[in-house]
């Protein structure tokens, strides 16, 4: 074991790290430190075992401490720790792209590598603009996102996203020419839906309104998460994504699915596009691609998108875009080992098999105090709590803290407790997660 990660830092040693998406002062006054992980569990600095009900941050789909990934990473580090992918190549990058193309939705067999979900989103937006420009429609620069959407923290992703805090803080620096569809969460109509909600397909028709407002000739792409996680698990109503696809086709608008959370088995198929039988033009991924072990992201595109760029003199760089660490060899090695595990253990479809058990378990929380909705799909669930008066999010935060004290790590966003366990989760783990969460909700005022 690496001795450098073992000792818990003293309180005074916590100051230098400016923690992301964290209430720094609150955390540092009462830190929650994780020091080891294996299978379905973390261990805390004070030696407590905590079950991981959120796959780290929706990324550790094959569970923690996978020996095969660790060994592949170590092997690659010793053979070649880095190689550039600009005007150079290394074999495993091509191997990985081919392996990914083989599990992708129909026709999505061109892959651009990034290092995160945010980079994947900004890359996809740039590809969408470049695609239209390459076809002589350079005026198509507008994007349509969706309220409550989360597409990472780059300026592009924030602009098409619909998170109020991002928009409030950075609104003046957003991309121009972005509009938003309404979100699809409607507890009034859909509370306690099992699987996809029946009500709300018509919300996709709002795209027709935006096309009429801006004119199709100005719109490059629509970007949505098939299921959004970060805003508190928002599900697409039955038929909604198909309708979006139809409208995009009608007006030659590209459809981008942000599958950073739903990719790699979360929805019961390799990608949510396959689970919902709707194929986008571009698909952004990260997280489960490398099981969270080494940062990596990938943008999948339809071949027609790639082909549109492949014209003009052969010595021109067709897409003026890339990252120093695009297709990093160590990340490629981690991703290949991850894919091997997914295949061998049939993890990319396991969520579908477990989904009925998961659904029954999470819906058993209906009727608990303050629970105003439970929603689920694949191995995803949300329990929405009534906000306590004047302090939105406080009740759910208390639930998150108490669960952690009792050995279950959940995720809190606003008044929602989100659950997305590693895809290796067993029935006993599901029971433990739901029992602890139920108990805590009962005890929380
Ligand atoms: C749908 C979606 N897109 C993009 C991102 C950003 O990914 P990253 O944090 O790797 O930049 C996330 C992160 O949760 C996400 O859920």
Residue of the CA atom closest to atom 7 of ligand 1: 117
Q: Is the pTM of this model over 0.85?
A: yes
Pocket test for ligand 1, best of 152, 162, 416 (most atoms within 8 A of CB): 152
Residue of the CA atom closest to atom 8 of ligand 1: 117
Cβ–ligand 1 distance for 408 under 6 Å, the answer no
Cβ–ligand 1 distance for 260 under 6 Å, the answer yes
Give residue 104 CA to ligand 1 midpoint distance, Å: 19
Query: Which atom of ligand 1 approaches the CA of 116 most closely?
Result: 10
- pLDDT string in tens for the chain (445-residue length): 444 455 678 877 999 999 999 999 999 999 999 999 999 999 999 999 999 999 999 999 999 999 999 999 999 999 999 999 999 999 999 999 999 999 999 999 999 999 999 999 999 999 999 999 999 999 999 999 999 999 999 999 999 999 888 888 887 789 999 999 999 999 999 999 999 999 999 999 999 999 999 999 999 999 999 999 999 999 999 999 999 999 999 999 999 999 999 999 999 999 999 999 999 999 999 999 999 999 999 999 999 999 999 999 999 999 999 999 999 999 999 999 999 999 999 999 999 999 999 999 999 999 999 999 999 999 999 999 999 999 999 999 999 999 999 999 999 999 999 999 999 999 999 999 999 999 999 999 8
Dist CA 219 CA 223 (whole Å):
11
Of the candidates 235, 229, 238, the one whose C-alpha atom is nearest the C-alpha of residue 263 is 229
């Amino acid at each position: 074991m690496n001795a450098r990660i073992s000792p818990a830092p003293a309180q005074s040693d916590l100051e230098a790290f400016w923690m992301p998406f964290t209430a720094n002062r609150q955390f540092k006054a009462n830190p929650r430190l994780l020091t080891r992980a294996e299978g379905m569990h973390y261990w805390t600095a004070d030696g407590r075992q905590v079950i991981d009900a959120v796959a780290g941050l929706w990324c550790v789909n094959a569970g923690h401490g996978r020996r095969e990934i660790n060994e592949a990473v170590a092997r690659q580090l010793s053979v070649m720790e880095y190689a550039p992918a600009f005007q150079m190549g290394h074999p495993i990058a091509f191997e990985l792209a081919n392996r990914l193309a083989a599990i992708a939705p129909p026709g999505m067999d061109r892959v651009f590598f990034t290092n995160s979900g945010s980079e994947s989103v900004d890359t996809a937006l740039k590809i969408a603009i470049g695609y239209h420009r390459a076809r002589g429609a350079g005026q198509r620069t507008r994007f349509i996102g969706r309220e409550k959407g989360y597409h990472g923290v780059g300026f592009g992703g924030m602009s098409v996203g619909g998170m109020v805090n991002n928009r409030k803080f950075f609104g003046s620096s957003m991309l121009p020419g972005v509009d938003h569809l309404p979100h699809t969460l409607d507890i009034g109509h859909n509370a306690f839906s099992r699987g996809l909600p029946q009500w709300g397909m018509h919300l996709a028709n709002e795209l027709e309104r935006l096309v009429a407002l801006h004119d199709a000739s100005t719109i490059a792409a629509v970007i949505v998460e098939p299921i959004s996680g970060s805003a508190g698990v928002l599900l697409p109503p039955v038929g909604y994504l198909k309708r979006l696809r139809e409208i995009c086709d009608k007006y030659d608008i590209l459809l981008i699915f942000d599958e950073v959370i739903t990719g790699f088995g979360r929805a019961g198929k390799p990608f949510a596009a396959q689970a919902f039988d709707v194929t986008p033009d571009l698909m952004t991924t990260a997280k489960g691609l490398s099981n969270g072990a080494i940062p990596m992201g990938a943008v999948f595109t339809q071949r027609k998108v790639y082909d549109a760029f492949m014209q003009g003199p052969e010595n021109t760089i067709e897409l003026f875009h890339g990252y120093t660490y695009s297709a990093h060899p160590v990340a490629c090695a981690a991703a290949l080992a991850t894919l091997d595990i997914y295949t061998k253990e049939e993890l990319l479809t396991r969520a579908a098999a477990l989904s009925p058990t998961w659904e029954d378990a999470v819906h058993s929380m209906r009727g608990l105090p303050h629970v105003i909705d439970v929603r689920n799909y694949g191995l995803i669930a949300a329990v929405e709590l009534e906000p306590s008066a004047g302090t939105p999010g406080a009740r759910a935060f208390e639930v998150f803290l108490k669960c952690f004290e009792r050995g279950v790590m959940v995720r809190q966003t606003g008044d929602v407790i989100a659950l997305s366990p590693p895809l290796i989760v067993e029935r006993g783990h599901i029971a433990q997660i739901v029992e602890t969460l139920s108990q805590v909700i009962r005890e929380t005022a």
